[in-house]
Amino acid sequence: MRIAFFEIKDWEKKYLRKKLKDHTLDFFAEPLDSGNVQKVKDAGILSVFIYSKVNAPVIQKMPRLKLVATRSTGFDHIDVKECERKKVIVSTVPFYGENTVAEHTFALILSLSRNIHKAYVKSLRYDFSIEGLKGFDLKGRTLGVV
């Protein structure tokens, strides 16, 4: 089967070629859209990421398409209704980076409380004064999680 990968990095290609050697693989660094869909119109499987636009015009130009696999938890870049209409299966990554996202949230909180970005911007201007960099402690603060 022909599988088209979009928004793919060089380091991923070697692994995919090894694991999928019985298939024809096409790799593209750019996202999929109506401008480049002709390159893969015969593919049966699409593997995309968040910047690819798998909308009705793209899906309609791919008569052999059976599966769209997005390498993300979100799927708002895929026209799911059009896929259902064309009997194309859509798969997502059900769990991805929960710890990473939570840790990044705390990194951003610390960056805000300690003015890390402001200090960085000042250093780019060779301004090494501490003026405007006074932060605040997190102790005693309440964090709301939505």
The pLDDT tens digits for 69-118 are 999 999 999 999 999 999 999 999 988 888 998 899 999 999 999 999 99
* pLDDT for the residue numbered 96: 80
What is the arithmetic mean of pLDDT over 4-8?
98
pLDDT tens sequence across 30-49: 999 999 999 999 999 999 99
Tell whether 79 and 111 lie within a shared domain: no
Give the tokens for residue 38.
């002709």
Question: What range defines the domain where residue 58 resides?
Answer: 2-91
DSSP per-residue string spanning 111-140: HHHTTHHHHHHHHHTT----TT------TT
Residue found under tokens 């003026």: 131
pLDDT higher than 90, residue 2:
yes
How many residues in total does the chain contain?
146
Tell whether 64 and 113 lie within a shared domain: no
Tell whether 58 and 75 lie within a shared domain: yes
Model confidence, pTM: 0.75
CATH number of residue 27's parent domain? 3.40.50.720
* pLDDT for the residue numbered 97: 82
48 in Cβ contact with 70 (< 8 Å): yes
* pLDDT for the residue numbered 143: 85
In a domain? residue 79: yes
Domain endpoint, select from 49, 71, 91: 91
pLDDT higher than 80, residue 146:
no
* pLDDT for the residue numbered 132: 95
Residue found under tokens 């708002």: 76
pLDDT tens sequence across 8-22: 999 999 999 999 999
Tell whether 76 and 109 lie within a shared domain: no
Neighbours of 20 (CB within 10 A): 14
